[in-house]
């Protein structure tokens, strides 16, 4: 017999700054018993799952239409024990500016 353990989750990096057009990989480390299922979503969008892997690879990231140029990605770990665990990564996308 094994004991049930509620999920816990940590994302890395929790905050990152990149230049638009570049790529980044976010990592979601989840634990619990039974082993939790992972899902990545983009905050502010309709809950569409971007990935069900511990790694979320973002390619050719573009600046959002927000004044602070921040995009938030949420990792959720769920195993049916208590409530799902959630952690958020914040990606700040700087302008790829060209000066002559």
Report the pLDDT value the prediction gives residue 99, as an integer from 0 to 100. Answer: 67
| Nearest-angstrom CA–CA distance, 66 and 91 | 12
Report the pLDDT value the prediction gives residue 13, as an integer from 0 to 100. Answer: 97
Average pLDDT over residues 20-45: 95
pLDDT, one tens digit per residue, over 34-87 is 999 999 999 988 878 999 999 999 999 998 877 789 999 999 999 999 999 999
* CATH class assigned to 5-94: mainly beta
| Domains of the chain, residue spans | 5-94
Greater pLDDT, 2 or 88: 88
Nearest to 77 by CA among 9, 4, 17: 9
């Amino acid at each position: 017999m094994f004991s049930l353990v509620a999920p816990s989750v940590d994302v890395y990096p929790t905050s990152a700054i990149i230049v638009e057009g570049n790529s980044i990989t976010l990592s979601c480390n989840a634990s619990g018993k039974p082993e939790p299922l992972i899902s990545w979503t983009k905050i502010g969008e309709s809950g569409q799952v971007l990935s069900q892997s511990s790694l979320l690879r973002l390619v050719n990231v573009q600046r959002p239409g927000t004044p602070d140029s921040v995009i938030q990605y949420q990792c959720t770990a769920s195993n049916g024990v208590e409530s799902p665990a959630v952690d958020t990564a914040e990606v700040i996308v700087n302008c790829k500016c060209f000066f002559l």
